[in-house]
Amino acid sequence: MKRDFLTIWDLSRIEIEGMLRRAIDLKSGVDSNKCPLIGKSIGLFFEKPSTRTRVSFEVGIYQLGGQAIYLSPKEIQLGRGETIADTARVLSGYLSGIILRTYSHSSIEEFAMHSTIPVINGLSDLHHPCQAIADLMTILEKKRRLKDIRLAYIGDGNNVANSLIGAAARTGIEMVIACPKGFEPNQDVLKRAGNKEDAENAGEIIIVRDPKEAASRADVIYTDVWVSMGQEKEAGKKKAKFKNYQINKQLLQYAKKDVIVLHCLPAYRGQEITDDIMDGPNSAIFNQSENRLHTGKALLEFLL
């Protein structure tokens, strides 16, 4: 039976822990000659431009012995009116798996419903689960544990925040989200996290308005852009709302001395994060970015 990875909830806590161990092994060079994707072709259908998701998966597929085939809406018939269902059925006959990066999460769900191959969510308006797995790996590398880590997420309650909520709830991370009123994460995501499916390890999810309150005693501080792709019309309004939510030297004073700073990138330096923090000793941002490769490979191995 095929497995999809559309949201972080598609993996159990035990599966997440196993995938993180495997990603760490892959990063260290264990089984560097193992090529489980030999003879397999993986599609990458992207409606949005990408640096980390596209390059990490293309390189990872190659390193695992497979072939990556990049698809854009302008190059296949989906962009000219063929239905998602028909496209899913056709591509299922050619490919061993597909990674989708779309505007609408419902498009990924529809594609998965009609495909017979594993579907990976490379990003949608609602979730970014591949990023969350890399984030967990980075925290585990730097802090040697996940349970009872205090993660302060400061900024927009977007797709990255939604996936981090699920990741925190699954692994025992305490997540404190600081955002302006009206910019909270998805309510269904918060509700599911509150159900504590992993009751023994479930992490608390708290929403506050004051970034300093969120940063207090934090082991990890995380931020993302204030204006995501497709929200450019709201740029002026959002920048005004988020002006006090910048990650800077003053905010880090409230966190633990050994706090690490994360950002899923790309970053707008001088807006949500300052240069001295992004390039400073507390930053694990570029390690986090590299980990997209290793967790992507572990995910492909698991699903295929």
Q: Which residues are catalytic?
A: 101, 128, 131, 224, 264, 292
Beta strand pairing call for 67-71 and 119-123: unpaired
Q: Which residues pair with 154 in a beta bridge?
A: 178
User: Are 282 and 251 a contacting pair, CB within 8 Å?
Assistant: no
Distance from C-alpha of 157 to C-alpha of 177, rounded to nearest angstrom: 8
Cα(89)–Cα(30) distance, rounded to whole angstroms?
36
Token output for 117: 């191959």
Residues 294/137, Cβ–Cβ less than 8 Å: yes
Distance CA(219)–CA(203), nearest Å, equals: 14
Angle at which helix 84-92 crosses helix 105-114, to 10 degrees, equals 50
Number of other residues whose CB lies within 10 A of the CB of residue 20: 23
Q: Mapping DSSP to helix (H, G, I), strand (E, B) and coil, where does residue 44 land?
A: strand
